[in-house]
Amino acid sequence: MGGDDVAARLGEIEELLEGLGKAHPKEISAFSRFLRETLDNKALTTREKELIALALGISAGCEWCIYLHARKALEAGAKPEELIEAGLVAVIMGGGPSLMHLIPLMKAIKKFEGSHSAFSEL
């Protein structure tokens, strides 16, 4: 899955939320409020919370989550190395399948942060 596919996955999230927002506005609105409140800077920064969400997405095997939270973590000021470290923590908890989900993480980093020599083989 290349960079265009990363963008396609993110587009699928937007389409899903838009469609559900029309069909189930109360539920999606409540979810959106919960999300905003939870990810707001409090005891943990948004950057830290996005790194946690990224690790959980990797552990759960959710490519959409990986792309979304990799982008949001970078936007919140995380460095690519921090994303990879969060991914490796996910591997501790999730084993080999989580390790394989570092592939979409590397693709997300390439897409959102530019090409890095350490990741050029992927």
- Structural domains in the chain plus CATH codes: 3-116 (1.20.1290.10)
Mean of per-residue pLDDT scores for the chain: 90
Single out the residue of 11, 117, 13 nearest to residue 57, CA to CA: 13
Quick one: average pLDDT of 34-56?
95
Q: What is the pLDDT of residue 120?
A: 45
Under DSSP, the state recorded for 101 is: T
Quick one: average pLDDT of 108-118?
71
Quick one: average pLDDT of 69-81?
96
